[in-house]
Chain A
């Protein structure tokens, strides 16, 4: 069983399109994350949801809009993107507790996005 799945795996869109990326975790975790990975750059944290509440919005432009309807699903809605937004978008999940042992984040395979 794959712990974290992402769809679609590849996406090509024009700058005027609206699309959504989907992430689903089957691990029973309580936190979910969106990261962006551009070529030869570190993974950049975009959004964090903890117990379905957004707890971090890392100065991400409003053309990226996250949604977390429940603890297993996370969406990233895209609209009027720019070519520089082309990147690999990774979803991750973890089971976090301030008092418990530190848990690692588990990543999905990513969505390779190309904006034309």
Chain B
């Protein structure tokens, strides 16, 4: 059973417009959420994160919104640029006391294509 779901496998947006990528989770123990971006032939790179005590975090063109009651988060990219074309992974984190590390659970990813 997937604890983190990205229901849209792909998204196509025109350059300059807003891209909205969505993510849903089921485990209320998750307390930290991240978005990663992945280009072909590269590993995922960290983009932006949000703690469960917040509902919004902004970094330049990227904003992440968290709705805890709905167990939903979204990534907004505005304005979208062709260089944003990549696969975006949502991840949720909870600290594993037994293991002593932050466990990340990833969604399946959404492929964003920004066209001129």
Of the stretches B11-19, B59-67, B76-84, B90-98, the one at the interface is B90-98
Q: How many B residues touch A, CB cutoff 8 Å?
A: 31
Q: How many A residues touch B, CB cutoff 8 Å?
A: 27
Within B48-107, the residues touching A (CB, 8 Å) are 49, 51, 89, 93, 95-107
Considering the complex, give the chain B residue whose CB is closest to the CB of A102.
B32
Within A29-59, the residues touching B (CB, 8 Å) are 31, 40-43, 45, 48, 50-51, 55-56
Q: Is the interface of B mostly helix, strand, loop or mixed?
A: strand
- Say whether A96 contacts B102, CB under 8 Å: yes
Residues of A bordering B, CB below 8 Å: 4, 6, 31, 40-43, 45, 48, 50-51, 55-56, 90, 92, 94, 96, 98, 102-110
Residues of B bordering A, CB below 8 Å: 2, 4, 9, 32, 34, 36, 41-46, 49, 51, 89, 93, 95-109
Other A-B pairs, 9, CB within 8 Å; known A50-B101, A55-B98: A48-B101, A50-B99, A51-B100, A56-B101, A92-B43, A98-B97, A102-B93, A107-B43, A109-B41
